Structure 1
Amino acid sequence: MTTDTIMHALGADYHLLKPIEFAGEVFTKLTFRDCTAGEWAQLDDFNGTESDQRALGFILDNGAGPIVSRLSVRDYRAAGKAMATFLNNRPIVVDNGSGGVSITLSKPVASETGTLAILNLREPTAGDLIAIDPLAGVAKDIAAVTACSGWDRKDVIKLPLRDFLAASAWIADFFDDAPATGA
């Protein structure tokens, strides 16, 4: 397996070239998980290699985060490439032919109505703008995605962060590209 094909999907394992013993446990693989925006925000206080090690530690599952500093250089570099693949994995956003887009989710959402794997968004309306205008920040984005997708809010808040951000960015383009006034 090459480092370019280590991980293309969340939850994939990277098998260490050199096992690591830590706290009475032997780690032979690294399993990547979806981390939170809050975890990433903690990286603002660090730079360089320390930031890279902490970032890698955040996306490791099974309590493997503390072993990052004990990885061999080859395993550390390969795991770093796997992490970069994950971070650069953008959702697929395609025109759905009806003035909206469809986003293939990086991780399906479990809903009371079943498993949701594709988020279809329609163009926002003036009514949507009136409804979301009093809100601010992430609450406004959640309301906009809820309105334009037809999903329940409780399902929208389960969206993986990268998919939610892609949906929010697509909707925001309708509000951000208005012609300048005045002049």
Structure 2
Amino acid sequence: MINIKQIHHVAYRCKDAKETVEFYKHYLNMDFLVAISEDRVPSTKAPDPYMHVFLDAGQGNILAFFELPTYPEQGKDPNTPDWVQHIAFEVEDLDALLAAKAELEAKGLDVLGVTNHGIIQSIYFFDPNGHRLELTYRCGTEEQLKKLKEIAPAMIEEWSRTKRAPKMAAWLHEEEFRED
């Protein structure tokens, strides 16, 4: 039986490896761990030169990027809204989230939020490659998380049948959408 311990790393494409490393070091205080570069891909043996960089995302989590100079720029998927694909990083609490927002804005980034998702609160911004980033903190109670886990199977079944948002967890955003 497979027993996964944690995600070792997730890898994304970048436009410029050096610019990407500098962004994550400057804005998110990530340490630059490793750079690997080859003229041939070890797994496929394809003759594709690349630069693969790895950054410390905290607690054993690693964020990696590939720069691929022989391929056209990745571009945006016209069928996927900007808010869908993103990388979320957790901070300690609301004070840390607000401090991060202030710091990022002071460094010149446009930041969206704080957005209340009921069990988490988040801010959003983009890296130089167009990847949406989220900083979030957990504010949900154990009771809320337990309830969400209990209703998850029924929610996915209803969604699978109807392709409409099940209302079983609407309580998460009741205050946000309540009309006074």
TM range (shorter): under 0.3
Q: TM-score, normalised by structure 1?
A: 0.24
Q: TM-score, normalised by structure 2?
A: 0.24
Q: Considering fraction of residues, name the structure with more helix.
A: 1
